[in-house]
Structure 1
Amino acid sequence: MTDSLLSGPGPDPAGDAGHTDAPPRVGFFTDTSVCIGCKACEVACKEWNAIPEDGLSLTGMSYDNTGSLGASTWRHVAFIEQSAPPAAAQAPAPEGRTELPLAADPPAAGGEFRWLMSSDVCKHCTHAACLDVCPTGSLFRTEFGTVVVQEDICNGCGYCVPACPYGVIDQRPSDGRAFKCTLCYDRLGAGLEPACAKACPTESIQFGPLDELRARAALRVEQLHAAGVPDARLYGHDPEDGVGGDGAFFLLLDEPEVYGLPPDPVVTTRDLPAMWKHAGAAALSLAGGFALSFALPALLRRKGRR
């Protein structure tokens, strides 16, 4: 275990995990500016992965009936009602996309109110703390660079839950095992795209080689800035960030905190080597002091006899 494997850019996560001749790393780019909150991704995810229902009660504060990601919610569509300044521009559709007419709603027309919607998912981090702390090998890195939980090996220890800087992975109360998005590993092996991306009607969720998605995302941000949406920014795309870049990153129209995302996530195991060094130094110091406490009186007695 070295610092290079726990922090910093990781150009080949699959290769670091022992996969030879691995295909290009794949992931998700979620363009929240075209998300319509239809929840098709949530339904497709549950249907394909046979995920149990996670509660059908509304919060009473939003159309969001799932609340957050969890062991039985691998895709979560956030609905954020937000006051907007009068000058806020409507995000245009990507080039070549049909732009739907907006309903004649006086508050929206006056720029006083807007919806922010985003389909959240496991980030499949370059440096995944859940992988580092799993004692059974239940979590593993696939040849596609994604992170998957093997439910038949999970012993329910729960170490991965606090290790995740995004609060994604969770345990099911029924048996204590951990579950999260697998990026449809079974579909990838068959040459198919993940179920959520396949079902998304607006192509808000885009799947493909990560390098291509990053280039596409940068162009989309430029388009939005040119169209008068200065708050558009990317989140989780930078290999130099605290997790080495995410395998699932986002285009946001406001600060990450508005979407319930940490502003500056850091892999929680990054400082493990330094911590072990300090612990080792402390143990040696303690052992030296303990030995000295026995040796010093004996030396003094010997000196006194002389």
Structure 2
Amino acid sequence: MPDPNSLYGPLDPASDAGYVDAPQRMGFFTDTSVCIGCKACEVACKEWNDVPGSGLDLLGMSYDNTGALTANSWRHVAFVEQPRPAGHGSAAVAAQPEFLGMPGARPPGRDSGVEGRSDFRWLMMSDVCKHCTHAACLDVCPTGSLFRTEFGTVVVQEDICNGCGYCISACPYGVIDQRRGDGRAWKCTLCYDRLGAGMTPACAQACPTESIQYGPLEELRERAAARVATLHGRGVPEARLYGHDPDDGVGGDGAFFLLLDEPEVYGLPPDPVVTTRDLPAMWKRAGIAALAMAAATVAAFVGRSS
């Protein structure tokens, strides 16, 4: 896989976008091991951003009533029900009441919570736009509706969006969506208006277990690495980070996750790659071809004239 840094320049999106003396890059760290599936983040996001209340019908899939990230669901709490991995019985769970950092708490995603059942578990994850370091949606937007903020996040200006849909197909995570009856693209803004006022994004503010953590991205990465080490020490070897690596196919995400299983289980691509990574080479080849065609045309014209 090509090094994104060699293709797109320094891994400092705000500075790369032209901001001088930009503040620290801000982002989300979502720790799924402490998510209780309360959906407070979904509600807070809708209320603060005035997102329409559609997408709140039971879908017949566990307790997941929104289904996916859409134009009307900028945060989506996924519920994944699966057989419990070997070696993770109820006795092992009961022996770790400090798992969440709260006395007597039982780790969600590790116990069904159904009396007499210990053969399955729920994995819960609050998904959101990843605010990629190298965002393909920015590359393809023809109107400038999508822009990089001084905090390194990616925001859609709906009053400029023409509804072309290029950003939707360009997103490697399938995050961006068009609103029915509207046609324009909508997604998480990481509460850009709140960030400018020094406030915490609504979803993180509302999260009762601090599953969604907001702050300077570098600090969050350090905190996440320490959390994974703690879980490994407590006998949870499947704990892993997703989207935290600056050397991955999108240059690292501004919103990354601690997962308790493979990314595909949560509906995430295992190896996301910025979909416009080949554009520089394509433009170069197109330019060379255009020059060659122009030279051939001139040569043919000169030949006929003589």
Q: TM-score, normalised by structure 1?
A: 0.89
Q: Which of residues 232, 235, 241 is equivalent to 1:228?
A: 235
Matched residues, percent identical? 73
Task: For residue 241 of structure 1, report the CA deviation from its aligned partner.
Answer: 0.5
Q: Which of residues 88, 107, 117 is equivalent to 1:107?
A: 117
- CA distance in 2 between counterparts of 1:186 and 1:104 reads 41
Amino acid at match of 1:84: R
2:221 is the alignment partner of 1:211: no
Matching residue of 2:263: 256
- CA distance in 2 between counterparts of 1:251 and 1:57 reads 28
Matching residue of 2:291: 284
Task: Give the 3 Å change call, closer, same or farther, for CA 8–14 of structure 1 in structure 2.
Answer: closer
Secondary structure at the aligned position of 1:106 is classed as coil
Task: For residue 176 of structure 1, report the CA deviation from its aligned partner.
Answer: 0.8
2:40 is the alignment partner of 1:51: no
2:41 is the alignment partner of 1:41: yes
Amino acid at match of 2:65: N
Matching residue of 1:70: 70
Which structure has the bigger radius of gyration?
1
- Deviation string 1:147-195 (CA, Å, 9 cap, x unpaired) is 1111111111111111111110111121211110000011111111000
Matched-pair contact (CA < 8 Å) for 1:5–1:127: no
Secondary structure at the aligned position of 2:155 is classed as strand
User: How large is the RMSD of aligned CA atoms in angstroms?
Assistant: 2.2
Name stretches of at least 5 consecutive residues in structure 1 with no aligned partner: none
2:103 is the alignment partner of 1:98: yes
Name stretches of at least 5 consecutive residues in structure 2 with no aligned partner: none
Task: For residue 283 of structure 1, report the CA deviation from its aligned partner.
Answer: 2.8
Task: For residue 295 of structure 1, report the CA deviation from its aligned partner.
Answer: 6.4
Secondary structure at the aligned position of 2:77 is classed as strand
Amino acid at match of 2:240: R
Matched-pair contact (CA < 8 Å) for 2:97–2:105: no
Amino acid at match of 1:97: M
2:276 is the alignment partner of 1:269: yes
Amino acid at match of 1:145: G
Matched-pair contact (CA < 8 Å) for 1:94–1:220: no
